[in-house]
Structure 1
Amino acid sequence: MKILIVDDDTLVCQSLKILLSREKNMEIIGTAANGAEAIDSCRRKAPSVVLMDIQMPVMDGIQATRQIKVEWPQIHVMMLTTFKDEKNIRLAISAGAEGYLIKSTGVSNMAEQIRALVSGSSILDAEVLRQLTGPAEKKELEQLTPREKDIASLVAQGLSNREIAEQLYLSEGTVRNTLSIILEKLQLRDRTQLAIYYLK
């Protein structure tokens, strides 16, 4: 897989380039110092994965991620940052990032997470997941109706719309419409984000 590293810290870029290059099937095709350079590199080099920092000059990682996912939805974006606060986590996920890791993550573990991301998994660092499943989230879930909570719970258990409809004696259309309402209320993008959000 072709990886682009985006970070305004040159030392971080070079260290990750050296270490990840040693991993099997990983080719570092370049580095970028900000979001604008990242977008230019995506245009010229077509990476399969972008490791994206958040706070950078010129254009931050959130803005860059949003633009990359609009122009090249096939590119996987993994946030790699020191920020663990809920606001940045939610902004990154809303922008389209499929993964969020903290920079203290070991390189071998990081490589495993990148592979999992490319294979279709959503990746969240354990500390990040704790931020998203803390008491503040429970308060936000209180805005859902009992029926919406039931559907959110079943989505988190991995059930399809059809299975949820059968279990709750609803039509698939009703489940689909209710799911759209839930996503809008919680400001989430899809059922994968909802499942992660709902985990306790």
Structure 2
Amino acid sequence: MSDPIRLLVVDDHPVVRNGLLGMFAGDAEFEVVGEAADGAEAVAYARALDPDVVLMDLRMPGMDGVAAIRKLAALEIRAKVLVLTTYDTDSDVLPAIEAGATGYLLKDTPRAELLRAVRAAVRGEAVLSPTVATKLLGQVRAPAKDDLSKRELEVLALIAKGATNREAAAQLFISEATVKTHLLHLYAKLGVSDRAAAVATAFARGLLR
């Protein structure tokens, strides 16, 4: 049996933290290794406990979630950050993704979907709730559908070969956050909402061979 997925739960409300602990309790596939009540604690615990995934609230006193995500990226903490928040406003979503979050879910996400999202985050896959994905695509939608930049095509080609965001970033000497931004832009230009559809559409239109 493989080792459990190690989780750090970050939220300033004890009731929310307890609820999340309850979701993962009794499932041998997951282990909650720590809890934090703000961004500063999240960074400290992530460094000390080496979790696989950090479930990160955004609006917290002191250091907020976006600042904590940026700090974790700057420290090159290996943990994937999965935002779990009540808010899906434009001012919350895009900064969190650009800071380096692997995914963005709302707190009303059903348990089964949350567990799937954590598994996907460990694999380096982007996870977005449907309303969040729609908002992101609306923000970055460009009028020219097929006018992909050279860098967007490079990212798309690597994704088509099965590269994760981290692997694509390493090969192109850019950050994972930049890869995510390129992906969001090319999704909008191609009129799709995920990696598989982007690759399929790109092959159909002759953008990839």
Listed as ranges, the matches of 1:38-187 within 5 Å are 38-134=42-138, 136-138=139-141, 141=142, 149-151=147-149, 155=153, 158-160=156-158
SS of aligned partner of 2:58: coil
Match of 1:196 in 2: 184
1:89 maps to amino acid: V
Contact 1:156 1:195 in 2 (8 A): no
SS of aligned partner of 1:30: strand
- The total of aligned residue pairs comes to 173
Matched, 1:3 2:29: no
Q: State TM-score, norm by structure 1.
A: 0.75
**Cα deviation code 1:68-99 (max 9, x no counterpart):** 12113411101100110122111001111111
* Cα displacement (A) at 1:196: 3.0
SS of aligned partner of 2:45: helix
- Percentage identity across paired residues of the two chains: 29
Gaps of 5+ in 1: 164-175
Gaps of 5+ in 2: 162-171, 192-209
